[in-house]
Amino acid sequence: MPVYRIRGVDVDFPYDAYDCQITYMDRVLQSLQQGNNALLESPTGTGKTLCLLCSALAWRRTFGEFLRGGGGGGGGGGSQPSGSQQSGASATQSSSYPVIIYASRTHSQLRQVIKELKATSYRPKMAVLGSREQMCIHEEVSKLRGKAQNNGCHYLCKKRLCRHNNIVTDYMKNNTELGSEPFDIEDLVNIGRTKGPCPYYISRELSKSVDILFAPYNYLIDPGNRRSLTGISWNNAVLIFDEAHNLESICADAASFDLLTSNLTSCITEAQECIQLCSFKRSIENSAEKQFDPENYAILKALLMALEKKIGELVIDSKELGYTKPGSYIYEFLSELNITSETSKKLIETIDSASLLLEE
């Protein structure tokens, strides 16, 4: 396999590289070495993905050999170094190396990237993230979709009623080399179906201690998804967005939401259900906990009804043009309902407790 010396870094490349590929890898390494952002493009068919992988992993290897064994199992960060590193190095030292986050738009694109990784000589510790919809193997939860699936999973795991989730920690401890060879989501699902552990939570555990993590864009851009990625030191991470021409619209989607009339109607119905559930819970448990105070949900219901009424009163002159206001308008709109920076925390807590109540 040819080795190219670029900017002082030995880059293993599976083929004889074209001049444009050498130039591309040179620019990738320049960006990494200088800690700069880079916007790189190359004509279709010039092997951009392979260039990105080989140059980024060659740069990563200059810090020390790739992680091996023990990574992500249970508490994460337990990888033991290999090769040129001392065998007694601590997990903290192992995890101090930069982690590469490789993002693409779809899982099918990521599958192709992982296929390219298999063609190289590099074998970094890796993980790939996917959704429950793609990875859940529970007989009942796998049939659900969206929020219902997430809630069902959270509930069963919290009560330790999911046998697949219950054996993840032991499986990870007994299979410390998992992630040392390239794999994709389908491979994890096959492990789950044949061996039993949950593919979704295996991927989450693996992601805590890796050299390279593959994920769709929205896992990095959406704040909720990003918060769930525990164990990643973002200050010591390299972010690669492959096929980034859709990135702007993905960012806009992550910062936007649609609130439909049907959503509000459902919220009001569920707030009423919470009032009844709290009253019932108090009567059978004889509890006066604040968390189960029906008055909180009565206030929430009244607020939602006021919001529904206020939205209904907006005058929209043109259906084509809609009703557009500057960003600051939403704060004025909500403040008239007494939703402010001071009251929003209490409101969010009430909504979160309502979700838990309904989930139970």
- Domain boundaries for CATH 3.40.50.300 within the chain: 99-255
Q: Is the pLDDT of residue 252 over 50?
A: yes
Pairing of the two strands 99-104 and 212-216: parallel
What is the tens place of the pLDDT at every residue in 19-52?
A: 999 999 999 999 999 999 999 988 888 899 999 9
pLDDT at 69: 55
Residue-level pLDDT at 99: 93
pLDDT class of 255 with cuts at 50, 70, 90:
confident
Question: What are the pLDDT digits (tens) for 303-337?
Answer: 999 999 999 888 888 888 888 889 899 999 999 99
Q: Is residue 216 within 8 Å of 203, Cβ to Cβ?
A: no
State the angle between helix axes of 344-359 and 146-158 in degrees (0 to 180), rounded to the nearest 10.
Answer: 80
For 231-248, how does the pLDDT look when each residue is reduced to its tens digit (9 = 90+)? 788 888 999 999 888 888
Are the CB atoms for 62 and 175 separated by under 8 Å? no
CATH 3.10.50.40 fits 99-255, yes or no: no
Q: What is the pLDDT of residue 62?
A: 94
Cα–Cα distance for residue pair 209/207, rounded to 1 Å: 6
At 79, the pLDDT band (50, 70, 90 cuts) reads very low
pLDDT at 136 over 80: yes
Give the mean model confidence (pLDDT) for residues 106-116. Answer: 92
Percent of the chain clearing pLDDT 70 (strictly above): 90
